[in-house]
Amino acid sequence: MPAKIKVANPNRCINCYSCMLACSRTNANSVSLIDSAIDVRTSGGIESGIGIIVCRSCIDPPCARACPTGALTPRNGGGVVLDKDLCDSCKLCADACLPRAIHFDRADMPVICTHCGVCAKFCSHDVLELVKTEVM
Amino acid sequence: MWSNVLYIDLETGEHHTRDRSDLFDKYLGGTGVATQLLLEECPAGIDAFSPENPVIFSIGPLTTIFPCVSKVVSMFKSPMTGEMGESHAGGRLAMAMRFAGYDSIVIKGRAAKPSYLSIHDDEVKLKDATSIWNLSSVEVTGKILREVEPGKGRRSIMRIGKAGVNQVRYANVNVDTYRHFGRLGMGAVFGSKNLKAIVISGTEEVELPDMPAYKKMYSKLYGEVVDTEVMDKYHDLGTAANINVLNRLKGLPTKNLKQSHFENAESISGEYFADNLLLRKIACSNCPIGCIHIAMLKTQFQKGHEFEVSHISYDYELIYSLGTNLGITMGEDVLRLIDRCEQHGLDIMSTGGVLAWATEMYERDLITPPDTLGLSLRWGDTDNYLKMIDRIVEMPNKFYQAMAKGTAVAAAEYGGEDFAINLGRLEIAGYHTGPASIVGQIVGVRHSHLDNGGYSIDQKASSQQLSEEQMVDKLIYEDYWRMVNNSLVCCLFARGVYGEQNMVDALECVGIKKTRDELEAIGREIFLAKYKFKEREGFDIDKVSVPARFFETVSQLGMVKKDTVDNMLKLYRKKTGI
Ligand code: SF4
Ligand code: SF4
Ligand code: SF4
Ligand code: SF4
C-alpha cells in the first residue's frame, strides 16, 4: 500500500528544523534548507505560531494539471512525481499549489516531496507521521 | 574545510572576505578561531567602547552538520571586565551563518549614524536604523525588521534594546527573541558602534565528502541525543528543575547570598512554572531537544476583562537572578521582571546581581532615597524593582549611572564590597555549591559557570569525597575539553553526547582527522591563547578578590574556607602554567 506524509500534530512542533535537514540530507544529498520538500515556518517570528508546509498529497493534483510540459505526473497514493528532464522551471506548478508546498532549489528545479517519511523519522515530537493510504 | 571570514568596517560600510584556513586548520573554529581573531584585531589596552574594539562571531566545522551543534561564539573586549568578552548564543544564528557561507564575521569601526547590517548570502549592506534606534522594545524591533528583510524562515535577527543603545555595561544582544549573547556586555559594544541589529540569512547547499558515512553518523548522534537522559533533563522541566534541587541542598544563592536556600522556593520552582505558566517549548535550529521554555503571562491592565498577554522564556539562571536573589515569592512576578529586562535588552544575571546588592545597601542605610530617587528597596517588592530596572537603563543620576556599570564598579564607589557578589567583576551564576564553583568562575576564561562546570564538580565532591587537588584536576580537564566543544560549536547541554570519541568521529565526517590527544592539545592551546589576551588586558588571578560573603553563607559542601579557595587557585596556576 502506498504511504503519504501527514502533519499529524502541528502544535507540538519545536521549530528545530530536524525534518528539513533530514529531507535534504536524504533526498538531495546536501546539508541545506532550500533542498528540503518540507518547510517549517514561523509567520511572525518565533513568538507567534509555527506553520508546517508540505505536500498534501492531492489525488487530482492541481500542480500536475498546471504543468505545461508533463514534468509532474500524479503519484500512486496522492501527490506527484517529477521528471527533471522535462521541467523547464516555469514555476506554474508552484502557483497552482494552494498550500505553497513547491519551491525551487538553487538550480531552479522544483523540490517535490516523495512521501518517503524520513522527515517523520527525525521528528522528536511526533508532529509528522507517515500514513498508509487507501488509494491505489 | 570551511574557513571563510567576512570583515566589515562600519566606518565606511565596506566589506571583504578572506580565506583563513591558516586559523581554521589549527584551531577548528568557534572559540578557537575567534580567540585568534580577537588577538589580531583588538589593539592592546583600548577602551571597550573604542571603535577599534572588534565584534567577532564564529561557527565551527560541525555547525548545522550534526544535531545540537547549534551555537555561535561571539568575542569582543568586555566593558564589564575590561578583558575577554565571550558569549555564546543559539537560536537560528549558527544555521544562518552556515548557509550564508560565513564561518566568522569580524565587525570593526563605528557607523556614522544609527545603522543595522543586512547580510543575505553575498549581499552585505549597512542600512539606516535611525527610526528604530530608540525603540523601547526588543520585541518590536524584531517585528519591524522581519517586515522589511528577506529570508523568512531561514534568517536570524540579532538586535539590541535601550540598554545597549544607552551603553549599560551589561546590555545583551538579543538573538531571535528567545536567545541571547547574554553576558559581558556585547550589547553595549553594539551601542558604542551605532549598530542596532544584524539580519543574516543564506541559501547554501553544503556537500560533504562521504555522504553515506555522514548520514550514518548523523543518525547515531541524533539517536543518542533523543534517547539519553539529556532529553528528559532539558526538555521536561528544563534547567528550572534546579530551583527545588539546589534549594534542598543549600546551594541556591538567595537575597544577595545572605542565604543559600529560599523559604518560598516552591512557588517559583520549575515545577510551579511548568504546572501554571508554561505555554510551549521550542528549540534552536538543528536541536531536537527543545530546551527553550516559554511561559505565558496574562496581566489585567484595566478593570473588566482587559488582559495583555506576553510570551516570556525562562530558565534556571533567570529565576535565580530575578527570583531567589531578590526574594520574589511568585512565579508570575519573576516573569514580569524577566520581561522588563528582555524588552530593554539587559543581561538578567547581572541585573539581578546589581539589584540584590542595592537592596542590601538600602537595608543597611548605605544608600538612601536621594540616591534611589525616592524608591525604597525591599526584598520581594516587584513593583519597585521594575521601576529600578527602568532607571538603570535611563541613568537619571550618579547612583543609577554606577548601577549601570555593574556590581563591582558600583560597590567600589558606594561601598558594600564584602557583599558585592561578583567574581572577576562579573555577577555570579546561581550556584553556591562549594569551592569548585567559586574557583571555577574566577579562573574560567569568561568567568562563567559554563567554562568548567565547577558547580557539578562540587556536587561530585559531596558524594565522592574529592580532595582539593582532584577538584582542580577536574576543573582543568573541563576547561580544556570545553574549548574543543566550543570550537565545534556544540551546545553544552549535549556535551554528554559530544564526548571525546564522538567528536573525533564527527570531525572525520567533514574531513578533519584529529586524534583524541591532538584535540586535547588544541583545547589547551586555545585556553592558553585566551589567557594571553586576558593577561595582556590586565587580568590577574591573584588580584581577584572574593567578597567575604562567600565564606559566611553555608554552601552545599558546608562553609567554604578562604584557605581552600586560595590553595585551589595556587594549584590551578601551577598545573596550567598561567
Ligand atoms: S516548473 Fe517544471 S514542474 Fe513546475 S510547472 Fe513548470 S515545468 Fe512543470
Ligand atoms: S505539491 Fe501541492 S498541488 Fe501538488 S500534490 Fe502536493 S499539495 Fe497538491
Ligand atoms: S516525506 Fe520525504 S520527501 Fe517528503 S518532506 Fe518528508 S523527507 Fe522530504
Ligand atoms: S522535526 Fe518535528 S518538531 Fe522539528 S521542526 Fe520538524 S516538525 Fe517541528
**Domains annotated on chain A, with CATH:** 1-54+114-130 (3.30.70), 58-112 (3.30.70.20)
Closest C-alpha residue for ligand 3 atom 4: A113
Mutate to test the interface with B, among A11, A16, A54 (most CBs of B within 10 A): A16
Specify the ligand 2 atom closest to the Cα of A72: 4
Write out pLDDT tens, residues A21-75: 999 999 999 999 999 999 998 866 666 678 899 999 999 999 999 999 999 999 9
Q: Which residue among B154, B231, B290 places its CB closest to the CB of A16? A: B290
Of the given ranges (A103-107, B168-172, B399-403), which has the lowest mean pLDDT?
A: A103-107
Instruction: Choose which residue among A75, A80, A133 to substitute to test ligand 2 binding: the one with the highest number of ligand atoms within 8 A of its C-beta.
Output: A80
Q: Say how many CB pairs under 8 Å bridge A and B.
A: 93
Which pTM was predicted?
0.96
Q: Which residues of A touch B286 (CB under 8 A)?
A: 16-18, 21
Q: Which of A30, A53, A54, A112 to mutate to test the pocket of ligand 3 (most atoms within 8 A of CB)?
A: A54
Q: Which H helix or E strand runs over B13?
A: none
pLDDT above 80: residue B144: yes
pLDDT of A44 reads 64
The pLDDT of B557-574, averaged and rounded, is 97
Cβ of residue A18 lying under 6 Å from some atom of ligand 4: yes
Cβ of A28 within 8 Å of Cβ of B205? The answer is yes
Are the C-beta atoms of B71 and B94 separated by less than 8 Å? yes
Q: Tens digit of pLDDT for each residue in B124-141?
A: 999 999 999 999 889 899
> What integer pLDDT is reported at residue B234 of this predicted model?
82
Q: Report whether pLDDT(A135) > 70.
A: no
Q: What is the pLDDT of residues B475-534, one digit of tens each?
A: 999 999 999 999 999 998 898 899 999 999 999 999 999 999 999 999 999 999 999 999
The CATH number of B239-416 is which of 3.40.1110.10, 3.30.420.40, 1.10.569.10, 3.40.50.920? 1.10.569.10
Q: Which three three-digit cell numbers place residue B114?
A: 544609527
Predicted local confidence at residue A136, as pLDDT: 53
- Interchain contact B484–A (C-beta under 8 A): no
In angstroms, rounded to a whole number, what is the distance separating the alpha carbons of residues B444 and B167?
A: 25
- Cβ of B208 within 8 Å of Cβ of A26? The answer is no
CA distances from A21 to A9, A17, B95 (A): 19, 6, 11
DSSP string, B316-340: HHHHHHHTGGGT---HHHHHHHHHH
Q: How confident is the model at residue A41, as a pLDDT?
A: 87
Please check the confidence at residue B352 and state whether its pLDDT lies above 80: yes
What confidence score (pLDDT) does residue B547 get?
A: 98
Residue nearest to atom 6 of ligand 3 (CA): A119
Chain A CB contacts of B139 below 8 Å: 47
Pick the CATH number of B426-576 from 3.90.650.10, 1.10.599.10, 2.40.50.140, 3.90.79.10: 1.10.599.10
Please name the residue that has the C-alpha cell 574557513: B3
What is the CATH number assigned to the segment(s) B4-201? 3.60.9.10
Percentage of residues in chain A having pLDDT higher than 90: 87
Label residue B256 left, alpha or beta by phi (over 0 means left) and psi (-120 to 50 means alpha). left
B215 interfacial to chain A (CB closer than 8 Å): yes
Average pLDDT over residues B246-275: 97
Check residue A58 and give its pLDDT.
96
Residue B303: pLDDT over 70: yes
C-alpha cell at B314: 525562562
- In chain A, what percentage of residues exceed pLDDT 70? 94
- Same fold for the domain at B239-416 and the one at B426-576? no
Report the separation in Å between the CA atom of B109 and the middle of ligand 2, taken as the mean of its atom positions: 50
Atom 2 (ligand 1) nearest CA:
A87
Q: Per-residue pLDDT averaged across A102-120, rounded?
A: 96
Mean pLDDT rounded to a whole number for chain B: 96
Q: Give the pLDDT of residue B190.
A: 98
Give the pairing type, strands B195-201 and B115-120.
parallel
What Cα–Cα distance (Å) separates residue B111 from each residue in B37, B137, B191, B206?
21, 22, 10, 33
Residue B191 identity (one-letter amino acid) = G
Q: Is the distance from the beta carbon of residue A18 to the nearest atom of ligand 3 less than 6 Å?
A: no
> Looking at residue A110, what is its pLDDT?
98
Q: Which long-range contacts (CB under 8 A, 24 or more apart) does B274-282 make?
A: B274/B236, B274/B237, B274/B240, B276/B331, B277/B331, B277/B332, B277/B335, B279/B311, B280/A14, B281/A14, B281/B235, B281/B238, B282/A14, B282/A15, B282/A16, B282/A46, B282/B178
Collect all residues of chain B within an 8 Å Cβ-Cβ radius of residue A24.
Answer: 205
Domain positions in chain B are: 4-201, 239-416, 426-576
Please give the distance, rounded to the nearest whole angstrom, from the Cα atom of residue A40 to the centre of ligand 2. Answer: 16
Whether A14 is in the pocket of ligand 4, judged by its Cβ within 6 Å, is: yes
Averaged pLDDT for residues B313-339: 98
- Note whether A46 contacts B287, CB cutoff 8 Å: no
**Mean pLDDT on B190-201:** 98
Q: What is the DSSP string of B112-156?
A: SSSEEEEEETTEEEEEE-GGGTT-S-HHHHHHHHHHH-S-TTT-E
Block residue for cell numbers 567528536? B503
> In 10 A of CB B36, how many CB atoms?
22
